[in-house]
Amino acid sequence: MKVTLARVDERLIHGQVMTAWCKKCWIKTIILVDKEIAQDEFMISVLEMSAPAGVKVIVKSPSDAVALLANDSSDDSTLLLFKDINNVDELVKHGYPLKELNIGNVGSSSIRKPITREVYVSQQEKEILRNLSQSGVNVYIQKLPGDNSVDIMTKI
């Protein structure tokens, strides 16, 4: 599979934002990387029905996603989608050579502080993002394809 976009968006597969990215990047497959959702058959069914027409959805844990990506040689444009930053960290720790990471939406919580209107991060998530950036991953914030991208390091 040809990973065209890796994106963190806690809203997962939803409406106009996801449709815009799928069109822009010619996405044929979405691999949702999340160890909890990978065990929830009902949620998997909901996500499969939520995908834009013609887009296949696969839900895998980080370790299973690495294995799938390593063994699939198709040229399908693929979106790696993450509900949270921790699953990105696990994917990389399992050996996936991530090159870029788009941060779209990470909501607020009692331990997260805002870095933009749509992105809130905890101290632990900041550390993960710093480590990714320092290891050569281009980590940027960009809600929609037409928006300007912002280097995450300018915000954390």
d(CA 50, CA 18): 10
Q: Which of 14, 24, 93, 99 is catalytic?
A: 14
What are the distances in angstroms from CA 116 to CA 18, 97, 121, 133? 20, 27, 10, 18
d(CA 150, CA 118): 13
3 state DSSP class of 5: strand
First to last CA, the chain: 32
Locus of tokens 């939803």? 14
Q: Is 14 a catalytic residue?
A: yes
Residue 86 exposure: Cα atoms within 13 Å on the Cβ side? 8
Active site residues: 14
